[in-house]
Amino acid sequence: MSFAREFLRPAGLVLAVSLAALGPARAADDTVVATVNGQPITESDLTIAASELDPQMARLPDDQKRAAALSAMIELNLMAAEGTAKGLDKDPDFQKRLALLEKRALHSEVVDKEVTAGITDQEVRARYDQEVANTPPTNEVHARHILVKTKEEAEAVIKELDAGKKFEDIANEKTTDPSGKGSGGDLGYFGAGQMVPEFEKAAFALEPGQYTKEPVQTQFGWHVIKVEDKRAKQPPAFDQVKDQIKNVVIREKYFALAKQLRDAAKIDIADAGLKKAIDGQNATEDAKPEEGEAPAQ
């Protein structure tokens, strides 16, 4: 099985550049690393080829990745020469696909140069701060629980707690939750919507240090719950979500540029059904991708 067939994206090695693969523009390196029937393959050709390798191959060490890229470029050159020799490059359908691939490459180049290139860390940080400021504060609790099969067992646990036995000791001894044994039934911090409704309602009703005086039933069994702490939910650290926030900034800048170009263009859609659909999309925010989704290629 060849490197090209096994590991390259089938949409086209050089021209079908996706937005996700775009990075900072680099100066072309025209150092020739190989020739195929007299046609040179340069270092910059390898750089482009490596960016289009299958993600599994992209994780290889650099020397193996370069070898895979060169193998793919050799086959690409050979197959392209074969297609040209047989006149396949003159086929009308091929010409249409080639024109589309060229437009995709130019689309990606515009995105790279006019959208992503000017984005700074300060701009991404400011967008993060805006998201944090606009997110309504929510609370979360740190709780433990003891899960048993019957209501009678849960009531017996509550009697032991009332008698002064430590919650953690009972949990390690009696809980049927595998993750709770050895940890004193510790569930860590959780917020609204992360637990089943009955459990969540009981936990959020407790104050730190309190435990449920009545067993709580869920589909998992009967619970005795203790709350250790309550706090305002902390936003994720900037470094954890930096790439996601940058994608949001890219998305917003992309659609701003796309709208600017659409507004300045004369677009006629002959198909009445398509025109209605496009007009409807343009009239609503639903036409935009979800957070972090890349613009259509």
**pLDDT class of 5 with cuts at 50, 70, 90:** very low
Mean pLDDT over all residues of the chain?
85
pLDDT per position as a tens digit, 165-201: 999 999 999 999 998 889 999 999 999 999 999 999 9
Query: Among all chains, which residue has been given the structure tokens 């860390």?
Result: 121
Residues 54/48, Cβ–Cβ less than 8 Å:
no
pLDDT per position as a tens digit, 92-136: 999 999 999 999 999 999 999 999 998 999 999 999 999 888 888
- Mean pLDDT value of segment 261-283: 88
User: Residue 17: its pLDDT value, please?
Assistant: 32
Lowest model confidence (mean pLDDT) among 27-31, 52-56, 68-72, 274-278: 27-31
- Mean pLDDT value of segment 142-161: 97
Q: 189 in helix, strand or coil? A: strand
Residues 105/16, Cβ–Cβ less than 8 Å:
yes
Query: Domains (ranges, CATH) in the chain?
Result: 3-90 (no CATH), 121-132+236-287 (no CATH), 139-232 (3.10.50.40)
C-alpha–C-alpha distance, residues 247 and 228, integer Å: 37
The single-letter DSSP state of residue 19 is G
- Mean pLDDT value of segment 230-254: 92
Element (H, E) at 228: strand 221-232
User: Residue 197: its pLDDT value, please?
Assistant: 95
- Mean pLDDT value of segment 2-18: 31
